[in-house]
């Protein structure tokens, strides 16, 4: 028997939730398929948008590249026209270069005889006098000149033979032989002449073959001294000085041409 005290208070509410699923299972399956279709459609739409954006970007880049290509082709065409206009100048420059090569080949063994005489006068001490001399230069066997005009061989094809020296077995880089004779106050003066000739860069291996004492106090001597490659003038070694074309001038011309071409492309 239930009394009033045993009953629940009046303010206590008991909620009872009941649900009844009246949909068939195939309806739930269709709803689930529909949701997956919506998700797939959204993903496909996003993929299409990305592809369309990438394609549009590629088209813009391709258009820019084509514009640059057209500009470069126009520049190349302009440069080809300039090259055609400068063809006579190139022919003239080639002719000048051939003449410069020929001059350099012919004058590569040019000897500064004035330098030889000045060096001989400087080496002659007081009390000595050179009365006669002769210079023997051998015929050149030819020398190979590099395309840039440099000469690698020291003697340039001139090899002196028959120039006596103190050491007959020495192998020296000499290009000629000077035979000289003269008079000196005494033998000591002749010795000083030999020392001075050996110290000069233009000479090598001075050798006095004979000395003769006259009835007086003077001494007559004769001998020879070899010429070193230092007596080459070298005035035609710089091919640019012969042609008038230097690297600086070529660089300035290239910069001017490039500047003009760039200006035309910008316009």
Model confidence over 2-49: pLDDT tens digits?
454 555 555 566 565 556 566 677 777 888 888 888 889 999 999 999
- Mention every residue, 6+ apart, whose C-beta is less than 8 A from residue 159: 138, 141, 174, 175
Residue 16 lies in a domain: no
* pLDDT mean over 220-246: 79
Residue 226 lies in a domain: yes
Which is more confident, 52 or 242? 52
Residue 264 lies in a domain: no
118 and 233 share one domain: yes
222 and 194 share one domain: yes
**What percent of the chain lies above the pLDDT cut of 90?**
24
Q: How far is CA 150 from the centre of its chain?
A: 14
29-38, 84-93, 100-109 — which is least confidently predicted? 100-109
Residue 17 lies in a domain: no
4-13, 100-109, 240-249 — which is least confidently predicted? 4-13
pLDDT on residue 137: 80
String of DSSP letters for 40-56: HHHHHHHHHHHHHHHHH
The three-class DSSP label of residue 58 is: helix
* pLDDT mean over 184-213: 89
67 and 150 share one domain: no
Residue 234 lies in a domain: yes
Number of folded domains that form the chain: 2
CATH number at residue 149: 3.30.70.2830
Long-range CB pairs of 169-175, under 8 A, 24+ apart, other chains included: 170/205, 172/204, 172/205, 172/226, 173/228, 173/229, 174/204, 174/205, 174/226, 174/227, 174/228, 175/109, 175/111, 175/137, 175/138, 175/227, 175/228, 175/229, 175/231, 175/232
The CA distance from 142 to 261, in Å, is 46
Last residue of a domain, one of 108, 137, 166: 108
Closest-CA residue to 163 (of 184, 194, 138): 138
Residue 259 lies in a domain: no
Residue 5 lies in a domain: no
103 and 118 share one domain: no
124 and 88 share one domain: no
* pLDDT at residue 95 greater than cutoff 80: yes
Please state whether 234 falls in left (phi above 0), alpha (psi between -120 and 50) or beta: left
The three-class DSSP label of residue 240 is: helix
55 and 132 share one domain: no
131 and 214 share one domain: yes
86 and 172 share one domain: no
Last residue of a domain, one of 86, 108, 130: 108
71 and 104 share one domain: yes
- Parent domain of 118: 113-239
pLDDT on residue 261: 42
pLDDT on residue 102: 79
How is residue 31 written in tokens?
Answer: 């709803």
Residue 265 lies in a domain: no
* pLDDT mean over 204-227: 85
The CA distance from 33 to 26, in Å, is 10
- Phi then psi dihedrals of residue 238, to 5 deg: -90, 100
Q: Mean pLDDT across the chain, nearest whole number?
A: 78
């Amino acid at each position: 028997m239930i009394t009033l005290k045993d009953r629940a208070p009046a303010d206590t509410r008991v909620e009872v939730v009941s649900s009844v699923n009246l949909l068939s299972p195939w309806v739930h399956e269709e709803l689930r398929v529909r949701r997956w279709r919506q998700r797939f459609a959204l993903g496909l739409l996003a993929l299409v948008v990305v592809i369309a954006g990438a394609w549009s970007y590629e088209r813009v880049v391709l258009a820019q590249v084509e514009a640059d290509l057209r500009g470069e082709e126009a520049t190349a065409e302009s440069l080809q026209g300039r090259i055609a206009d400068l063809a006579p100048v190139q022919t003239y420059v080639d002719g000048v270069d051939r003449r410069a090569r020929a001059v350099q080949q012919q004058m590569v063994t040019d000897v500064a005889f004035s330098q030889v005489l000045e060096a001989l006068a400087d080496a002659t001490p007081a009390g000595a006098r050179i009365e006669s001399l002769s210079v023997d230069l051998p015929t050149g066997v030819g020398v190979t000149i590099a395309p840039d005009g440099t000469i690698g061989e020291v003697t340039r094809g001139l090899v002196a033979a028959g120039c006596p020296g103190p050491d007959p077995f020495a192998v020296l880089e000499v290009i000629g032989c000077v035979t000289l004779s003269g008079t000196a106050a005494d033998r000591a003066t002749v010795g000083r002449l030999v020392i001075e000739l050996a110290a000069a860069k233009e000479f090598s291996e001075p050798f006095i073959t004979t000395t003769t004492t006259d009835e007086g106090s003077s001494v007559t001597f004769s001998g020879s001294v070899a010429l070193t490659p230092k007596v080459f003038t070298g005035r035609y070694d710089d091919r640019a000085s012969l042609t008038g074309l230097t690297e600086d001038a070529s660089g300035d011309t290239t910069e001017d041409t490039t500047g003009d071409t760039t200006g035309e492309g910008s316009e």
